[in-house]
Amino acid sequence: MPVKSSASFRLTALPVVVVAQMLAAAVLTLTLVWVLHFRGGVSWSWHRSSTPQLVYTAHPLFMWLVGFVYFVFPGAVMTMRADYAPWHILLGIVIFLMAVCTAETGLARFIFPFHAYPSEAFVVNFTGLAILMFGVAVVVAVILPSRY
């Protein structure tokens, strides 16, 4: 016997998006507490240092070219855009999850001897948990349909 479709089992992305936004605010707040309270503030003059670390990448140029070809170029047909959309979503999720993993690794690496910084490690651990939950919420929001 087929399963009846019930509205109680349907979940749209809106509640998950709200949760993701609240988690993003929590991550921002915890990061500000960590940087301002435990690390003594923010340095705005990093670009004036004697050895600036500049990172050049082709990513912005590549993304601009792909965006122009698929979405801005007037000759692009809708079927080409529709064919590219699932790959765009998949690659966006993969890149986002790689960024979450990088943030988690950076937090763990930065404060590695946890016993040396007990109260700071507490804030960093909760920041890491909030980043992880934010990543899960964003991926779920992307996967779920926007409306039924």
Q: 64-82 burial by CB neighbour count: b if 16+ within 10 A, else e?
A: eeeeeeeeeeeeeeeeeee
The residue segments making up the domain with residue 117 are 12-38+61-143
Residue 18, number of CB atoms within 10 A of its CB = 12
Q: Quick one: average pLDDT of 29-42?
A: 82
The CATH number linked to 97 is 1.20.120.1770
On average, the pLDDT of the chain sits at: 79
End-to-end CA distance of the chain: 24
Do the domain assignments include residue 17? yes
Assess whether pLDDT exceeds 90 at residue 93: yes
Do the domain assignments include residue 72? yes
Count of the separate structural domains present in the chain: 1
State if pTM tops 0.75: no
Do the domain assignments include residue 43? no
Most confident of 23-37, 56-70, 90-104, 117-131: 90-104
Q: What share of the chain is helix, strand, coil (3-state, %, to 5)?
A: 75, 0, 25
